[in-house]
């Protein structure tokens, strides 16, 4: 082992990281807080965070364990109390009646207006074989009901938050893997007691999962979704989600990693994703940087933020929400080691148009060269 060469390589990595952090500030106008949900946890790996505002404060959830797919992976809850995040506690596990353990996956929180907090999650050996469950809380995530299994074939919202439409339908954006990647919707009018399915929608030869829903008004909806096709996919509905157009590529890249999107109170749309085009003709690329774009119409997007940009991957599986005070909250996986939380004032964002799918340059900012990656999981 050449220690001198190793030290030089490490020094270069650290130098690039320090330089990129200083330059990254140019892309972080509007950021008012950056923090981790915890410093230490009883698990080494975490992923797939979700965030919601309840009457008693913010509540976050994610899965943690030895490693994704391992049977000790459980669903954890963190609550924001008196200005700080409390230590994560387990809210659900995959222990079966016969004592066998299976991993848990992809929690999604939903606060019923004036009602209970719902935790949707999955249990199973892998995504093509998992099933959906839900728990409810009457005290903002402190205590939880016993788990209720969703009807056979239902998994609930697969990654991103459900949307309550004006007609009373709660639309859970969902998808299935296994026999190809297919997007569908699971719809309930009674907060999970009864369900119906819409879709799968026409994939038009694309492999897409994990959609999020944007609301344009007058029954017009849009989804944005992760794909294996090197681009974020979209589909549109003009009848409150009952029928959908075939999937089509947007001009925004996708590295086969999760995204999330939200329609803000002012009608603009927010998208958080890795603005990364994988090398060559590969479908999958490194999950860095993590970007935020804004649009008025869901078609033309402007660059707004770079939440993370480092030669070390990954920053992934983001979620976005807007709290009652108008602030945007982003939560995401930080290198599979921690969960990061960023608060942004949307009124302070500086926007630059994205042309031909290329993130605009900013004077003085040079993206760091990827020199080290951790294994990129599903």
State how far the Cα of 300 lies from the Cα of 251, in Å rounded to an integer. 9
State how far the Cα of 244 lies from the Cα of 223, in Å rounded to an integer. 9
Is 23 domain-assigned?
no
The β-bridge partners of 90 are 76
Residue 374: is its pLDDT beyond 60?
no
Is 127 domain-assigned?
yes
pLDDT band (50, 70, 90) for residue 367 = low
pLDDT band (50, 70, 90) for residue 24 = confident
Is 378 domain-assigned?
no
pLDDT at position 183 is 98
Is 14 domain-assigned?
no
Q: Which domain holds residue 129?
A: 31-353
Q: Where are the alpha helices (DSSP H) in the chain?
A: 3-24
Is 159 domain-assigned?
yes
What is the pLDDT averaged over residues 62-87? 98
What is the pLDDT averaged over residues 205-215? 97
Total-model pTM: 0.92
Is 37 domain-assigned?
yes
Helices (H) and strands (E) in the chain, counts: 1, 26
The CATH number that applies at residue 342 is 2.120.10.10
Residue 251's nearest CA partner among 212, 287, 289, 224 is 224
The total of structural domains in the chain comes to 1
pLDDT band (50, 70, 90) for residue 364 = low
pLDDT tens digits, 101-154? 999 999 999 999 999 999 999 999 999 999 999 999 999 999 999 999 999 999
Is 17 domain-assigned?
no
State how far the Cα of 242 lies from the Cα of 44, in Å rounded to an integer. 42
Length of the chain counted residue by residue: 378
pLDDT at position 26 is 85
Is 183 domain-assigned?
yes
């Amino acid at each position: 082992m050449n220690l001198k060469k190793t030290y030089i390589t490490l020094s270069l990595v650290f130098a690039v990281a320090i330089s990129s952090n200083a330059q990254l500030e140019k892309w972080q106008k509007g950021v008012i807080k950056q923090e981790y949900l915890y410093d230490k946890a009883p698990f080494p790996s975490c992923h797939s965070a979700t965030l919601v505002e309840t009457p008693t404060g913010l509540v976050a959830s994610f899965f943690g364990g030895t490693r994704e797919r391992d049977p000790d992976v459980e669903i954890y809850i963190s609550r924001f109390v008196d200005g700080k995040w409390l230590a994560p506690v387990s809210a659900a596990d995959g222990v079966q009646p016969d004592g066998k353990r299976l991993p848990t996956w992809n929690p999604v929180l939903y606060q019923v207006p004036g009602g209970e907090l719902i935790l949707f999650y999955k249990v199973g050996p892998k995504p093509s074989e998992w099933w959906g469950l839900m728990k409810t809380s009457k005290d903002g995530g402190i205590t939880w009901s016993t788990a209720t299994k969703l009807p056979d074939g239902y998994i609930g919202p697969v990654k991103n938050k459900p949307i309550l439409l004006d007609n009373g339908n709660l639309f859970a954006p969902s998808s299935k893997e296994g026999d190809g990647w297919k997007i569908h919707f699971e719809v309930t009018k009674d907060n999970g007691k009864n369900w119906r399915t819409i879709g799968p929608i026409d994939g038009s030869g694309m492999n897409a999962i994990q959609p999020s829903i944007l609301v344009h008004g007058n029954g017009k909806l849009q989804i944005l979704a992760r794909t294996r096709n090197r681009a974020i996919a979209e589909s549109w509905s003009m009848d409150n989600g009952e029928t959908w157009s075939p999937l089509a590529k947007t001009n925004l890249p996708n590295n086969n990693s999760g995204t999330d999107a939200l329609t803000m109170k002012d009608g603009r749309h927010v998208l958080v994703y890795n603005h990364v085009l994988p090398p060559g003709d590969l479908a999958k690329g490194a999950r860095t940087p993590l970007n935020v774009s804004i649009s008025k119409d869901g078609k033309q997007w402007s660059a707004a933020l770079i939440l993370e940009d480092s030669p070390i991957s990954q920053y992934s599986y983001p979620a976005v929400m807007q709290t009652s005070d108008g602030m945007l909250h982003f939560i995401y996986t930080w290198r599979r080691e921690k969960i990061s939380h960023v608060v942004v004032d949307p009124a302070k964002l500086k926007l630059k148009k994205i042309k031909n799918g290329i993130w605009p340059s900013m004077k003085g900012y040079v993206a760091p060269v990827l020199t080290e990656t951790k294994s990129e999981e599903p």
